[in-house]
């Protein structure tokens, strides 16, 4: 027996991108391009037949789940029993497979729930249920639920939550219905955890915190970790939280002081381990954000409900790719390491996978760029990648620019290629070796040091083999020579 209270939750519009998925199906079946469901109703003579086929189709059985809302619902299931409600005609004999199709679709996608029931517009589905709260994306059903529990000797104080996205213009919403922008609000946790490793960032940490305080999107927490700074970092942080800037734009924060020195990038994980938000927004203590950074990220993530990695552009340039890559394409993109992986301050990533396991930087294996393995782990778990052209991040010039002239800077690329090679075909692995060998030798030739060039060649022989190296060397040398000529010509103009 369970003493958990009940949550009733709609399916379509909460767990799917309905009505878009339905409109996409209409356009596929009709061979036309309707812009809305209402337009299709008026213009498509086979509308009813298409709808009938949709309900029992493999298309519907394979609809993608909103991974962010799935996380929220599974978190709620730890405290409540979840009953999914649906207006799909799952009890209609005309669609004998629809109940099992819907039930198995939920189970196969890892949703934790007690039951699946038909949701009628009269509210009969609520009889005998003492519901703590109901979640829906349609105002008409929220109004029915709110009035049912207001007039039927309700034993619990039922809350009714309506997602804001699908409210029609001018549509009536009962005053007892609570309108929310995002399901994460039900967990009482922030959407973003801003994670700041602050060690020895005394000259820049105040600026970084100021940029956080100016963010237009406000549903975030800040986690700051210092690991035995030997400069004025701690006093600068304390000074900021006493400043008028913070008092005018305050936010929830925690400041942790650890008594050990970080090795390499090991301190990046310290604030991430303490984060509570749905997404982690990393900000290195020597960088800062433009005021729209979190707002632009939230807008993209809210619109594309399977994003696991979001990457901004910065003052150092616009990303080579802009837009959404689904997980299957994102895997190859990340593996090739083309165009530069988003550095920590430019990236925002989902904090846990669907099983609640936290994503962390692999700083033990990757001492220079552990983010490359982190993003790969996320897209391998089925999440999408989104990059934007918005230059919302200012990155301080690296104090270790000389690292780019050494093998240390490039070694993580080849550790990464080896570690994840089993997930890709031999052709993709070869492409990644060739591309990254080409990039590495470009930098080697630019040093104009015979010693360093030979040192790089020696390392690359171990990583990619002699055939790849023989293939790449002439093209790399030619590329560097042409680039040098180009720069000289520009200098003379």
Q: What is the pLDDT of residues 395-449, one digit of tens each?
A: 987 655 555 668 888 899 999 999 999 999 999 999 999 999 998 988 888 888 8
Give the pLDDT score at 360: 95
- Rounded-to-10 torsion of CA 447, 450, 455, 461: 100
Structural domains of the chain in order of their starting residue, each with its CATH number = 5-17+64-186 (3.40.50.1000), 189-399 (3.90.550.10), 403-492 (no CATH)
Q: What is the pLDDT of residues 94-111, one digit of tens each?
A: 999 999 999 999 999 999
Backbone angles phi, psi at 13, to 5 degrees: 95, -20
Average pLDDT score over residue span 296-311: 95
Question: What token pair was written down for 209?
Answer: 């915190």
What gap in Å lies between CA 318 and CA 389, rounded to an integer? Answer: 5
pTM: 0.90
Q: What is the pLDDT of residues 196-205, one digit of tens each?
A: 999 999 999 9
Of 65-69, 328-332, 444-448, the poorest mean pLDDT is in 444-448
Question: What token pair was written down for 114?
Answer: 């007690």
Give the pLDDT score at 270: 94
Average pLDDT score over residue span 124-139: 92
Reported as a pLDDT band with limits 50, 70 and 90, residue 166 is confident
Average pLDDT score over residue span 473-477: 86
The residues pairing with 193 across neighbouring beta strands, listed in sequence order, are 221, 280
Give the pLDDT score at 152: 58
Question: What token pair was written down for 76?
Answer: 């709620």
Q: Give yes or no for a contact between 352 and 358, defined as CB atoms under 8 angstroms apart.
A: yes
Prior bond of 89 cis (ω within 30°) = no
Give the pLDDT score at 156: 60
Given a cut of 60, whether residue 475 has pLDDT beyond it is: yes
- Per-residue H/E/C for 30-78: HCCCCCCHHHHHHHCCCHHHHHHHHHCCHHHHCCCCCHHHHHHHHHHCC
Average pLDDT score over residue span 287-297: 98
Reported as a pLDDT band with limits 50, 70 and 90, residue 487 is low
What gap in Å lies between CA 314 and CA 300, rounded to an integer? Answer: 17
Of 331-335, 355-359, 462-466, the poorest mean pLDDT is in 355-359
Given a cut of 60, whether residue 90 has pLDDT beyond it is: yes
Cβ neighbors of 139 (< 8 A, separation 6 or more) are 162, 167, 168, 171, 172, 173, 177
Cα distances (angstroms) measured from residue 74 to each of 78, 112, 131, 162: 7, 6, 17, 19
Reported as a pLDDT band with limits 50, 70 and 90, residue 489 is low
Q: What percent of the chain has pLDDT over 70?
A: 95
Higher pLDDT: 476 or 136? It is 136
What gap in Å lies between CA 322 and CA 272, rounded to an integer? Answer: 26
Give the pLDDT score at 264: 72
CA atoms lying within 13 Å on the CB side of residue 18: 18
Give the pLDDT score at 1: 44
Average pLDDT score over residue span 184-208: 95
Q: What is the pLDDT of residues 239-251, one digit of tens each?
A: 999 999 999 999 9
Q: What percent of the chain has pLDDT over 90?
A: 74
Give the pLDDT score at 445: 85
Per-chain mean pLDDT for the chain: 91
Average pLDDT score over residue span 455-466: 93
Reported as a pLDDT band with limits 50, 70 and 90, residue 393 is very high
Question: What token pair was written down for 220?
Answer: 């975030």
Reported as a pLDDT band with limits 50, 70 and 90, residue 356 is confident
Give the pLDDT score at 432: 95
């Amino acid at each position: 027996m369970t003493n958990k209270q009940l949550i009733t939750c709609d399916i379509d519009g909460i767990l799917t991108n309905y009505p878009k998925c339905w409109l996409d199906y209409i356009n596929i079946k009709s061979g036309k391009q309707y812009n809305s469901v209402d337009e299709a109703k008026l213009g498509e003579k086979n509308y009813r037949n298409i709808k009938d086929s949709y309900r029992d189709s493999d298309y519907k059985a394979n609809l993608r789940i909103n991974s962010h809302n799935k996380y929220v619902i599974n978190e709620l299931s730890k405290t409540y029993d979840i009953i999914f409600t649906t207006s799909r005609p799952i009890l209609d004999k005309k669609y004998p497979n629809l109940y099992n199709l819907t039930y198995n679709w939920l189970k196969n996608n890892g949703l934790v729930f007690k039951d699946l029931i038909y949701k009628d517009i009269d509210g009969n589905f609520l009889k005998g249920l003492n519901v703590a709260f109901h979640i829906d994306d349609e105002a008409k059903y929220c109004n029915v639920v709110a009035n049912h529990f207001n007039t039927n000797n309700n034993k619990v104080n039922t809350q009714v939550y309506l997602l804001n996205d699908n409210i029609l213009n001018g549509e009536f919403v009962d005053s007892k219905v609570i309108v929310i922008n995002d399901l994460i609000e039900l967990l009482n946790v922030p959407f973003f955890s801003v994670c700041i490793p602050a060690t020895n960032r005394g000259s820049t940490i105040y600026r970084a915190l100021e940029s956080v305080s100016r963010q237009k999107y406000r549903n975030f927490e800040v986690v700051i970790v210092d690991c035995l700074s030997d400069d004025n970092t701690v006093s600068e942080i304390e000074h900021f939280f006493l400043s008028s800037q913070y008092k005018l734009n305050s936010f929830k924060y925690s400041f942790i002081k650890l008594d050990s020195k970080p090795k390499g990038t090991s301190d990046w994980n310290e604030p991430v381990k303490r984060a509570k938000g749905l997404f982690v927004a990393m900000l290195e203590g020597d960088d800062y954000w433009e005021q729209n950074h979190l707002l632009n990220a939230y807008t993209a993530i809210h619109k594309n409900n399977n994003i696991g990695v979001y990457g901004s552009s910065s003052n150092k340039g616009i990303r080579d790719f802009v837009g959404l890559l689904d997980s299957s394409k994102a895997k190859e993109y990340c593996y090739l390491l083309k165009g530069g992986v988003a550095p920590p301050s430019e990236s925002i990533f989902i904090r846990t996978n669907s099983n609640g396991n936290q994503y962390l930087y692999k700083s033990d294996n990757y001492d220079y760029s552990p983010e490359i393995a982190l993003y790969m782990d996320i897209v391998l778990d089925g999440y999408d990648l989104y990059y934007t052209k918005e230059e919302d991040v200012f990155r301080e010039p690296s104090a270790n620019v000389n690292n780019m002239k050494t093998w240390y800077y490039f070694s993580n690329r080849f550790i990464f290629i080896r570690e994840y090679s089993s997930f890709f075909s031999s052709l993709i692995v070869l492409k990644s070796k060739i591309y990254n060998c080409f990039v590495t030798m470009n930098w080697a030739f630019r040093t104009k040091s015979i010693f360093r060039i030979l040192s790089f060649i020696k390392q690359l022989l171990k990583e990619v083999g002699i055939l790849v190296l023989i293939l790449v060397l002439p093209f790399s040398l030619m590329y560097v020579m042409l680039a040098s000529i180009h720069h000289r010509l520009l200098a003379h103009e």
